Structure 1
Amino acid sequence: MASIALSRVGKSFGPVSVLHEVDLDIRDGEFIVLVGPSGCGKSTLLRMIAGLEDITTGTLTIDGERVNERRPRDRDIAMVFQSYALYPHMTVADNMSYSLRLRRRPKDVIAQAVSAASAKLGLDPYLARRPKALSGGQRQRVAMGRAIVRKPKAFLFDEPLSNLDARLREQMRAEIKRMHADLGATSVYVTHDQIEAMTLASRIVAMNAGSVQQIGAPLDLYDRPANLFVAGFIGSPGMNFLEGRVEQRGETSTVVLSKGFRLPLPVRIPAADGEAVTLGIRPEHVSVVPEQDGIAATVELVEPTGLGVILHLLVHGEPFKLFSTDRALIQSQTQLTIGLPKERLHIFDKAGNRLPIA
């Protein structure tokens, strides 16, 4: 397998810059997930690693060798696409072995490689079938098998599960995770689905508007988001935000929300007295408390999920969500009082950057 390094990599289409000085070191055997909304540049970055898009500025190295000008087929990288890209007239076995046959590998080597990949992916019963006789999940496994038999330096996945239904996506996430554990392969995976990112990644690269916002382990981004974008994008349901201002007194700080509600913090945060801040808290960390201990909220909508219930609230006129596994809340009254545990709060400055509070 291989390490991949991007140093100040940028991409422009004419006068339009779509990627801005991306720095990223991918370790040998790591599973990196590029995540972000549509148009953030994640697929363009993946295609630049593959050699399908030219690099405008910066340097891309694979195992320490600069590959900016190297053709895709000379980078020893296998790519799995969203659309499967299988040959409809070929059997599963022929699709999987095609790249090896093009390289004129010995027949016994090809048969052994196909057999090993097929066994890993549960494709043995389908080797004689053509793609039209397969389900979407089976076709995606064939596309992965075609990549595996090449034994490339790295695997690139471009939103490979986007065309599958929810249950198949869940199954294929498990397949991809098992494959990575078995092969120890360096992998770069693109998705806009933050659940895929959280469940698959060794590290997540959160992107927005062509720039990297944060790089870290999935729970690092969940527990300590670097800014408002990451806080709002990672997590489902998304993080709640309320506007307030800082009141500094001695060695402690207080966030004062609208209507005068005060949240004392255990430390003094690095903000000026009176400075505007944004308070964030995840819906699963919001609690229902006695009236005298919290903030009044109006219930607008109740969504049972099976696992629990999502309450859509209005807090100081702003949309707010609470997630709980307490099914009694399905019959919730129209008014309730919510608590915001201090140890679960996130504070962001007026530029949107996270302030340390613990």
Structure 2
Amino acid sequence: MASIDISAIKKNYGHFPVLHGVDLTIEDGEFIVLVGPSGCGKSTLLRMIAGLEAVTSGEIAIEGRRVNDLPPKDRDIAMVFQSYALYPHMTVADNMSYSLRLRKTKKERIAEIVAGASSKLGLDTLLQRRPKALSGGQRQRVAMGRAIVRQPKAFLFDEPLSNLDARLREQMRAEIKKLHKELGATSIYVTHDQIEAMTLADRIVAMHGGVVQQVGAPLDLYDRPANLFVAGFIGSPGMNFLDGHYVVENGAAAVRFANGTTVAVTPRTALMHEDKVTLGIRPEHVQISPSGAFEAGIELVEPTGFGIIMHLSLHGLPFKIFTLDRSVLNTESTVRVEFPTDSLHLFDGEGQRVD
């Protein structure tokens, strides 16, 4: 296990910048998830840590040792890719033990290590099969087993579950989390799936446009998103946003919308009267009430089993509600809603959170 320090890392492809100065410290034994949309630079950063991409500027240190110029094989890390990258002519046991055989490890020791890893991953009965005889989930477990037997300082996961169906992804998420708790190894996991990020991470690193937007525990990003990007990316369905102006009258604060209606908010000392703001509220926090201050038109209703997602039009803007109340299935054209004050988020004209 090892800590990883990333300092002022930049990456350019020719004259095109991809990463714009990333600073991040990953503690020994921590599970970090890099999350963001396609093209945000998360996989590029992971590949730079692995040594598969050159660093344009900045420094990467593993266990206090600068590794910018070290080849991948000397960094003592193991990587699990989206593609399983298994040797088709080798058995499961041979695939898992390949790196150990390259190191001239004794056969008895190889058998012991492979047996331990296969037991953790439920591969005991599959050791003599070849990859073509395995399911997608089994192949992914073999790829993870191949990484585990190396006993590296850190594990790097590059969207390892993207090729699996939804049910299998759920199962594999649980297995990865249990495996991390058992091994206690430093892990960096890349995904575009915010559900994976929320369920797996000790800390999430939210990235957008090659810039780290926020770093924190999963519920910190959910409860106190640093900006509009994080607020909209974390959470499913995503947060609702309504543009307006911050107004203060007789000591009471509110957000006034274009049609003149207002929503009461707690006062923000950082805002001035008539400042442009964006009001945010998560779909699960919106309350349906006959006496609600706002009337919204119903455009689509999606029963999900556990709850119901309602797609509405509020002030001509798309707006969503997530509710457990099945009576809304009988609602025809409009619904009245209200916004609890303690569930509201405010963002300034630059899109930054205002507390």
Give TM-score, length-normalised by structure 1: 0.98
Is the Cα contact below 8 Å between 1:207 and 1:214 reproduced in 2? yes
Partner of 1:321: 320
SS of residue matched to 1:21: strand
Is the Cα contact below 8 Å between 1:30 and 1:185 reproduced in 2? yes
Partner of 2:351: 352
Aligned pair 1:25/2:25, yes or no? yes
Q: CA deviation at 1:270?
A: 1.5
Partner of 1:342: 341
Question: What does 1:43-82 align with in structure 2 at a 5 Å threshold?
Answer: 43-82=43-82
Stretch moving more, 260-269 or 231-240: 260-269
Is the Cα contact below 8 Å between 1:205 and 1:213 reproduced in 2? yes
**Counterpart AA for 2:326:** R
SS of residue matched to 2:259: helix
Aligned pair 1:302/2:301, yes or no? yes
Is the Cα contact below 8 Å between 1:269 and 1:355 reproduced in 2? no
Is the Cα contact below 8 Å between 2:43 and 2:158 reproduced in 1? yes
Is the Cα contact below 8 Å between 1:252 and 1:268 reproduced in 2? no
In the TM superposition, what whole-angstrom CA distance separates every residue of 1:186-245 from its partner, at most 9, and x where no partner exists? 000000000000000000000000000000000000000000000000000000000110
Is the Cα contact below 8 Å between 2:222 and 2:235 reproduced in 1? yes
CA distance in 2, matches of 1:305, 1:290: 24
Question: What does 1:121-132 align with in structure 2 at a 5 Å threshold?
Answer: 121-132=121-132
Gaps of 5+ in 2: none
Is the Cα contact below 8 Å between 2:31 and 2:201 reproduced in 1? yes
**Counterpart AA for 1:314:** S
CA distance in 1, matches of 2:97, 2:137: 19
Gaps of 5+ in 1: none
In the TM superposition, what whole-angstrom CA distance separates every residue of 1:240-292 from its partner, at most 9, and x where no partner exists? 0001101123544211123221112233341121111000000000110123x
CA distance in 2, matches of 1:354, 1:14: 34
CA distance in 1, matches of 2:236, 2:149: 36
**Counterpart AA for 1:254:** A
CA distance in 2, matches of 1:93, 1:252: 69
CA distance in 1, matches of 2:248, 2:268: 7
Partner of 2:203: 203
Partner of 2:239: 239
Question: What does 1:1-358 align with in structure 2 at a 5 Å threshold?
Answer: 1-249=1-249, 251-291=251-291, 293-356=292-355
SS of residue matched to 1:37: coil
Stretch moving more, 237-246 or 252-261: 252-261
CA 1:268–1:252 in structure 2 vs 1: closer, same or farther (change >3 Å)?
A: farther
Supply the RMSD in Å over aligned alpha carbons.
0.9
Is the Cα contact below 8 Å between 1:9 and 1:21 reproduced in 2? yes
Is the Cα contact below 8 Å between 1:253 and 1:269 reproduced in 2? no
CA distance in 1, matches of 2:51, 2:252: 53
Identity across matched positions, percent: 66
Count of aligned pairs: 355
After the TM superposition, which segments of 4 or more aligned residues of structure 1 sit over 6 Å from their partners?
A: none
In the TM superposition, what whole-angstrom CA distance separates every residue of 1:55-114 from its partner, at most 9, and x where no partner exists? 001010000110000000000000000000000000000000000000000111101110
Is the Cα contact below 8 Å between 1:205 and 1:212 reproduced in 2? yes
CA distance in 1, matches of 2:330, 2:132: 48
CA 1:196–1:37 in structure 2 vs 1: closer, same or farther (change >3 Å)?
A: same
Is the Cα contact below 8 Å between 2:294 and 2:338 reproduced in 1? yes
In the TM superposition, what whole-angstrom CA distance separates every residue of 1:134-175 from its partner, at most 9, and x where no partner exists? 000000000000000000000000000000000010000001
CA distance in 1, matches of 2:205, 2:37: 12
Is the Cα contact below 8 Å between 1:308 and 1:325 reproduced in 2? yes
CA distance in 1, matches of 2:90, 2:35: 34
Give TM-score, length-normalised by structure 2: 0.99
Is the Cα contact below 8 Å between 1:232 and 1:239 reproduced in 2? yes
